[in-house]
Amino acid sequence: MKKYSLILLLFKIVLIISLLPACGNKSVSFTDPYLEELIRDAIDKPEGIIYPWELEEILTLNANIEVLEGVEGSVGMIMDLTGLEYCINLSFLDLSNNQIVDMTPLESLTSLKTLRLSGNQINDLTPLASLSILETLDLSGNQFIDISPLGSLSNLSSLDLASNLIKDISVLSTLTNLSELDLTQNKISDISPLSSLDVLETLNLARNEIWDISPLAECRGLKNLSLGYIPPSGRWYRTADIPGTSNQVNDLTPLASLTGLEELNLNANEVTDLSPLGGLENLKYLYLNTNLISDISPLGSMVNLVILDLRTNEISDLSPLLGCTGLKDLSVMGGNPLSEKSMVVIEDLKDRDVNVMR
């Protein structure tokens, strides 16, 4: 009887051991050879079977093709993420500048805190909805319209959605922990959902279809705000020179409450009246290139202003700038009907070591 019991026990042990490969030792296959090569490098296993437990040890993975270019033995552009779903402990993942369309394998990577997917061909964000602890997400330069799957990502503090096809940003009203948001070059006209983002510090809305900025009056934490195109260094331009769409902001009244602003870009809009900016004494960098401005007297009290761009406006009198005692760089010579008196002001500014540029 004892012998029979011992045989039965041994049989059970053998059975359990035989089942182990189906659980912990199941092999993982990668459809994409470039992703497999990257994974093998991460686990230091040039050949042989790859097991799930090996992938669970990977905490960070950088497959940004721009970073890898020029590196000896670097991989090519990744198209298929199959197999990546086993890297369940990843906290940092950079897949920028590849050829990814389908993100489905990412939905199981719930430990991710930083995810970068810029410069791909993504059009469906649904797989990201489960990544609830994400803090930094870069989706710039893709092809999606619908951002509603991002509504569950309440821990996001930095979100880059630049250069996509977005029109509706209503879901962003729920992302109240955002401190950095980039919506450059989309098709946005209504920014009312942004009024609830009271901890937002950096906001880029350049190259959209915006004219009403009244919702921004509630974003009192803003330090850096861009509503305008940034031109190539060292040149002035007309609105017709600007690629893509351009905002059409005229009324700056909502900005009067943003007293913490340090940088403001309003290039290539339709601004005529600068008086709402008069109380923004913390401004250090102000870009007003290509507008319809003639009176710059509201700028005269901005003693902290360091860089000022006034090119391509209708300005003749520069005397208010003598009050900008902290000014270091001034761009004003191109595209303004400056008076003779203003030329004297320019010489005075140069005597103060202000760099006056075209």
DSSP 107-139: GG-TT-SEEE--SS-----GGGGG-TT--EEE-
The low-confidence residues of the chain, meaning pLDDT below 50, are 14-23, 70-74, 232-244
Beta carbons of 194 and 217 less than 8 angstroms apart: no
Of the residues 165, 181, 216, which one is the last residue of a structural domain? 165
Same domain for 141 and 58: yes
Closest alpha carbon to 193 in 159, 142, 243: 159
CA 246 – CA 254 distance, rounded (Å): 19
* Number of DSSP helices (H) and strands (E) in the chain, helices first: 5, 13
What whole-number distance in Å separates Cα of residue 358 and Cα of residue 213? 30
Round to whole Å and give the CA distance between 254 and 146.
28
Domain match, 223 and 114 both: no
Are residues 197 and 121 located together in one domain of the fold? no
Pick the last residue of a domain from 165, 180, 213. Answer: 165
pLDDT at 229: 76
Q: Are residues 196 and 343 in the same domain?
A: yes
- What lies within 8 Å, CB to CB, of 152 at 6+ separation is 129, 130, 132
Q: Which long-range contacts (CB under 8 A, 24 or more apart) does 222-226 make?
A: 222/258, 222/260, 222/261, 223/260, 223/261, 223/262, 223/263, 224/261, 224/262, 224/263, 225/255, 225/258, 225/261, 225/263, 225/264, 225/265, 226/184, 226/263, 226/264, 226/265
Domain-embedded: residue 18: no
In the DSSP assignment, the letter for residue 249 is: -
How many separate domains does the chain show? 2
Q: Are residues 145 and 284 in the same domain?
A: no
In-domain check, residue 96: yes
241 and 335: one domain?
A: yes
Domain that holds residue 357: 192-358
CA distance linking residue 70 with residue 344, whole number of Å: 52
Is 170 inside a domain boundary? no
pLDDT tens digits along 301-357: 999 999 999 999 999 999 999 999 999 999 999 999 999 999 999 999 999 999 998
- Say whether both 342 and 230 belong to one domain: yes
Is the residue at 63 inside a domain? Answer: yes
Domain co-membership, 351 together with 289: yes
Q: 323-332: which pairs have CB atoms within 8 A and are 24 or more residues apart? A: 323/299, 324/299, 324/300, 326/284, 327/352, 327/354, 328/353, 328/354, 328/355, 329/354, 329/355, 329/357, 330/354, 330/355, 330/356, 330/357, 331/236, 331/289, 331/356, 331/357, 331/358, 332/308, 332/356
Percent composition of the chain: helix, strand, coil (DSSP 3-state, to 5): 30, 10, 60
- Same domain for 202 and 329, yes or no, is yes
How far apart, in whole angstroms, are the C-alpha atoms of residue 133 and residue 117?
17
Say whether both 244 and 343 belong to one domain. Answer: yes
In a domain, 7, yes or no: no
Q: What DSSP string describes 300-329?
A: GG-TT--EEE--SS-----GGGGG-TT--E
Q: Are residues 255 and 321 in the same domain?
A: yes
Q: What CATH number is associated with residue 262?
A: 3.80.10.10
Single out the residue in 165, 183, 216 at which a domain terminates. Answer: 165
In a domain, 148, yes or no: yes
Domain-embedded: residue 5: no
Model pLDDT, residue 65: 76
State the pLDDT at residue 219. 97
Q: Are residues 129 and 251 in the same domain?
A: no
Q: Has residue 178 been placed in a domain?
A: no
